[in-house]
A and B are shown apart, each in its own frame.
Chain A
């Protein structure tokens, strides 16, 4: 007897792309603001990133993204009450990984990048899969446009091979303004060919002065 199939799925893919790049003393995190389902657009103005001391940008199933963000917000508040300070980026990175793995057998359909400054003020980016496998990298992208974005970044940012010893730092030598330009170029390109990426780009920049947000328009088709 053929196996019975479910007639509905608890997941949906709301599309979109997100991306982060780490610099010597800054970190840039970007995500588009389009939320879609199938071939339809649900909204052109959703927010896929959330701030603490570091910024997490996610794409995938927005309901799971939102639930994950709320969960982390609550844990972050508890941490602040207990330790009297905000969670550092590496600490948040581990917490996110554990939170994702906790639901290993009914995962958050959320593909995340986490960006911030480490304890020395250097940029750091962590990239995740849906069940919490994570890695500290110099740059990463997730979401529907990642297949278009990643190869371009690999070419432009020339990340050192992870097999080299001693381990080379993947942080880019680009200046902050150049990195932001790169982000804008990359998303403009991705919007051309990925139907799920577009509308507006939200760029979040973290540096020693704090966190700031910028917006840029993308193709609306």
Chain B
């Protein structure tokens, strides 16, 4: 097709003034599983759908702690995401070493965007195939940014990326005006509801999602499975018929991921997701 003539490498423009390789990289983000983020004045919540490839494997880590005040959730090529989070962690550590204060989120995001831009202007490189939702707190308040493979970044009140994210975005669009003054727990509830939207009818269980919070007086941390399951039950987010049965399901979840509470790995037969 017309498109294919100018998409061989990232340093070739199309006649319409587009860089197809960069746009293809953004497609890779859409292939990743859903990731959402939302913020209030004092907290930012990140959530993602975490499905293992098969019953035998553990799921991919998609949320990374970057520093006490910054965390990132990724969608797309998770390997690229892992490498970028390592870069972000190093930048935070180096800034802290020099200035003895936490790296402002806005600065980190710009550095990340510049790093991504470099890959769009070198013939021997390829763009990073991962979208990052960066959640952080600094002196100017709570922030949520989205970094694309193109090197652009945007600040959001709430956003969703990855496959079936449109459903979550629709939910967030309806509710975002209330987020600024939401309490922390309400924010987490909204995050779980948004995740549920992307599951399209499938039961929401803590074994298939991961939620992380950062806020004033609360360093970035990933909530453990039990806490998440309790919140799901408490808000009755799970579909009606599954209500009480969901808890034993989640407790027998087959994750072997290090960051989840080890107490749930009881050796029970894996449930299908």
Contact = CB atoms under 8 A, between A and B. Distances in A.
A86 to B, nearest CB: 14
B26 to A, nearest CB: 28
A74 B89 CA distance: 10
Interface string A72-85: 00100110010010
Nearest to A74: B93
A61 B90 CA distance: 28
A77 B97 CA distance: 11
A70 interface: yes
B245 interface: no
Task: Give the dominant DSSP class at A's interface.
Answer: helix
Contacts of B96: 74
Contact of B89 (A70, A81, A84): A81
Interface string B90-113: 100110110000000000000000
B258 interface: yes
Nearest to B93: A74
B181 interface: no
A84 B222 CA distance: 12
B97 A70 contact: yes
Contact of A78 (B65, B93, B258, B259): B93
B258 A84 contact: yes
Nearest to B67: A77
B84 to A, nearest CB: 13
A47 B110 CA distance: 37
A44 B96 CA distance: 27
Contacts of B86: 81
Given A77-B89, A78-B90, A84-B259, 5 more contacts: A70-B97, A74-B93, A74-B96, A81-B65, A81-B86
Interface of A: 70, 74, 77-78, 81, 84
15 contacts: A70-B97, A74-B93, A74-B94, A74-B96, A74-B97, A77-B89, A77-B93, A78-B89, A78-B90, A78-B93, A81-B65, A81-B86, A81-B89, A84-B258, A84-B259
Interface of B: 65, 86, 89-90, 93-94, 96-97, 258-259
